[in-house]
């Protein structure tokens, strides 16, 4: 094990202990699709996605450093927003979330219901980072970044660590990749468990910035927010820290891409054959598996990242043969 992996795997272990009272140990499920396939169902997680792992680790770590922070701020299309809102409410500090105007209304409503102040009017994908800096300067809140933050990365790694504890025979792990927080944390947990483990990230073809970055050896950005039904991975670039984990230290073995049609098929498989209510982003690893883009000869674990689906979108997908 390299010194880099050893140091960060120790932080994942600390994160697991820190967040344990506040998150669920989600099940690792078997499936009729393949006896060697395992599914880490983060759709059953608190707030419906893995994001609470990183958010709680970041907020609790902040409280340890500064017991009286003014508040926390985040920018998110929905799942990270809910996670930060819940973590802040739990420790009793304000949360302010900037959410683009075209975000999933159900995720916006859930964020407000968790007590966060939401700014949505005039927020777009293009201007949200600028508005974030402006509001941070005005309010003095601490940023909880959705992926480019070590506390967040370490918290996200606890999902893969749980799956490998439940199923130590897994040899391949696949996870969605947007900004790279979940995939980076998963890679740290996997490679610390077994250096020979194969770690694969899955992203839409139309949102292939991680794939491009893996091939170029440097961070590549998309020119605009990608138009994909997997709304949780509409980032234009991975982060500096996630690049360091995934590619600079070569902890991720491959990035595979899936089409919108393959994502839609995976959602239908999840809802009708597996009876798991996944959102399209959460179905990305399943899309790669069903499309034959993952290794088929070794025990494989898929991290299904969330289930906060836009029901109108799912209804359309389920109605498509």
CATH number for the domain whose boundaries are 53-143:
3.40.50.1100
- Angle of helix 3-19 versus helix 181-193 axis, rounded to 10: 110
Is the Cβ–Cβ distance between 31 and 294 less than 8 Å? no
The candidate with the shortest Cα–Cα distance to 58, out of 23, 27, 92, 19, is 19
Burial degree of 195 (CB within 10 A; 0-12, 13-18, 19+): exposed
Span 81-118, pLDDT tens digits: 999 999 999 999 999 999 988 887 888 899 999 999 99
Is the Cβ–Cβ distance between 228 and 206 less than 8 Å? yes
Report the pLDDT averaged over residues 143-163: 98
Outline where the chain has alpha helix (H): 3-19, 51-65, 79-91, 105-113, 128-139, 150-166, 181-193, 209-216, 240-243, 260-269, 284-290, 311-318
How far is CA 199 from each of CA 6, 93, 242, 249, rounded to the nearest angstrom?
A: 17, 36, 14, 13
Span 28-63, pLDDT tens digits: 999 999 999 999 999 999 999 999 999 999 999 999
For 3-49+149-318, which CATH class? Answer: alpha beta
In the chain, where the domains are located:
3-49+149-318, 53-143
As a whole number of angstroms, the distance between CA 174 and CA 160 comes to: 10
Report pLDDT for 1: 73
What band does 321 get if pLDDT is binned at 50, 70 and 90?
A: low
Outline where 252-310 has alpha helix (H): 260-269, 284-290
Span 158-192, pLDDT tens digits: 999 999 999 999 999 999 999 999 999 999 999 99
- Angle of helix 51-65 versus helix 79-91 axis, rounded to 10: 40
As a whole number of angstroms, the distance between CA 273 and CA 275 comes to: 6
Report pLDDT for 320: 66
């Amino acid at each position: 094990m390299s010194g880099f992996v050893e140091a960060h795997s120790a932080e994942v272990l600390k994160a697991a202990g820190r967040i344990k009272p506040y998150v669920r140990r989600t099940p690792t499920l078997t499936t009729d699709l393949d006896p060697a396939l395992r599914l880490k169902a983060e759709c059953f997680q608190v707030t419906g996605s893995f994001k609470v792992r990183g958010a709680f680790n970041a907020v609790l770590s902040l409280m340890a450093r500064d017991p009286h922070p003014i508040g926390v701020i985040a920018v998110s299309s929905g799942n990270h927003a809910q996670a930060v809102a819940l973590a802040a409410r739990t420790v009793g500090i304000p949360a302010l979330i900037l959410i683009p105007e075209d975000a999933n209304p159900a995720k916006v409503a859930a964020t407000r219901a968790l007590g966060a102040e939401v700014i949505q009017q005039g927020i777009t994908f293009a201007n949200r980072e600028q508005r974030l800096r402006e509001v941070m300067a005005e309010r003095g809140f601490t940023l909880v970044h959705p992926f480019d933050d070590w506390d967040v990365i370490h918290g996200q790694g606890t999902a893969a660590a749980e799956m490998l504890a439940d199923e130590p025979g897994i040899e391949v792990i696949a996870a969605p990749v947007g900004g790279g927080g979940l995939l980076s944390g998963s890679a740290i947990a996997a490679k610390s468990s077994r250096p020979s483990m194969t770690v694969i990230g899955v992203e839409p073809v139309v949102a292939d910035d991680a794939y491009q970055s893996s091939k170029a050896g440097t961070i590549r950005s998309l020119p605009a927010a990608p138009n994909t039904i997997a709304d949780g991975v509409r980032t234009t670039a991975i982060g500096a820290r996630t690049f360091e984990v995934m590619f600079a230290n070569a902890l991720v073995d491959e990035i595979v891409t899936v089409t919108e049609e393959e994502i839609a098929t995976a959602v239908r498989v999840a809802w009708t054959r597996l009876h798991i209510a996944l959102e399209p982003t959460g179905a990305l690893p399943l899309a790669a598996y069903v499309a034959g883009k993952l290794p088929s000869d070794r025990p494989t674990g898929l991290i299904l990242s969330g289930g906060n689906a836009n029901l109108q979108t799912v209804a359309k997908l389920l109605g498509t043969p």
